[in-house]
Amino acid sequence: MRTPVIAGNWKMYLGQTEEALGFVRGIRQPLNEVDGVERVLCPPFTVLATVAEVLQATRIEVGAQTMHWEDQGAHTGEVSPRMLQDLCKYVIIGHSERRAAEANAETDAAVNKKVRAALAHGLIPILCVGENLAQNEAGQTEDFVGGQVRAALEGLGADEVRTCVIAYEPIWAIGTGKAATPADANRVMGVVVRGAVSQQFGEEAAQAARILYGGSVNVENIAGFMSMPEIDGALVGGASLKPDFVELVRRAAATRG
Ligand code: 13P
């Protein structure tokens, strides 16, 4: 009943017009033909409009990688929800690479404002949560991730939360080639993430919200994740930059179908 989502987070890659166009034109048709799973490409801002334009006549959706919470203002370098609302359907919020102190130091409070602003503008947030290695090894995963979910969704209504996408991305699994096991990811996503949503907003909203796994997902391991009941798709980094992203999406659809 929950339509799976496979979202490709390009991060700071493929941001030049010609390389982005070349890549998207190459995968557009076969990616468009896959049924049963929503596909989302999240390119850098420099090519967001260009990618959105070449995907216009397709069923492939576009997402941004971040945004500010205000509509406009003196915020040098920022992009607002109003600027994005006609350009894309999704927006990644609170990625661990932006929460990191040495990067953008995004706090739970800022993430909450962004989630609210996205929903208020008709954008679907892909809210990222996940523990680091030290927290994982110290047995703090449940408390930390549960806290991130509660803080990010604070003040929302159940009718809003049910439309959200939440990505569980353990930081130690991102870009390391060391993915979580499907069983471990499924447990955190069900017990901790969906559990926190259920506690705060009720079981109906918790069952409707889509929860993705992210962290070293590739064409070989996607089927294992998709066969788990709590895993509604994946947020894919490195493997979304290669043509076999299409095969990854096909396998995701085949596992669910
Ligand atoms: P990788 O798939 O490269 O590990 O990245 C995951 C991620 O951070 C997606 O947002």
3-state SS assignment for residue 5: strand
Report DSSP state, residue 165: E
The answer to whether 153 and 112 are in contact (CB under 8 A) is: yes
Please tell me the residue having the least CA distance from ligand 1 atom 1: 237
Pocket test for ligand 1, best of 174, 213, 249 (most atoms within 8 A of CB): 174
Question: Domain boundaries in the chain?
Answer: 5-256
Q: Give the pair of three-digit tokens for residue 66.
A: 């971040």
Q: How far is the CA of 234 from the centre of ligand 1 (A)?
A: 9
Q: Which residues are catalytic?
A: 95, 169
Q: Which helix (H) or strand (E) holds 167?
A: strand 165-168
CA 228, 233, 237, 242 torsion-angle sign: positive
Q: How far is the CA of 236 from the centre of ligand 1 (A)?
A: 5
Residues with Cβ within 8 Å of 65's Cβ and at least 6 positions away in sequence, in order, are 9, 10, 11, 42, 43, 44, 45, 91, 92, 95
Per-residue pLDDT 10s for the chain (257 aa) are 899 999 999 999 999 999 999 999 999 999 999 999 999 999 999 999 999 999 999 999 999 999 999 999 999 999 999 999 999 999 999 999 999 999 999 999 999 999 999 999 999 999 999 999 999 999 999 999 999 999 999 999 999 999 999 999 999 999 999 999 999 999 999 999 999 999 999 999 999 999 999 999 999 999 999 999 999 999 999 999 999 999 999 999 999 87
- Nearest ligand 1 atom to the CA of 96 is 8
Axis crossing angle, helix 17-33 with helix 245-256, rounded to the nearest 10: 30
Closest CA to 148 of 198, 207, 96: 96
The per-residue pLDDT for 75 is 98
What pTM did the predictor assign?
0.98
The per-residue pLDDT for 191 is 98
CATH of segment(s) 5-256: 3.20.20.70
Structure-derived torsion over alpha carbons of residues 63, 69, 71, 76, reported in degrees to the nearest 10: -90
- Nearest ligand 1 atom to the CA of 128 is 10
Cα 175 to the center of its chain, rounded Å = 15
The answer to whether 235 and 128 are in contact (CB under 8 A) is: yes
The per-residue pLDDT for 257 is 75
- Nearest ligand 1 atom to the CA of 236 is 2
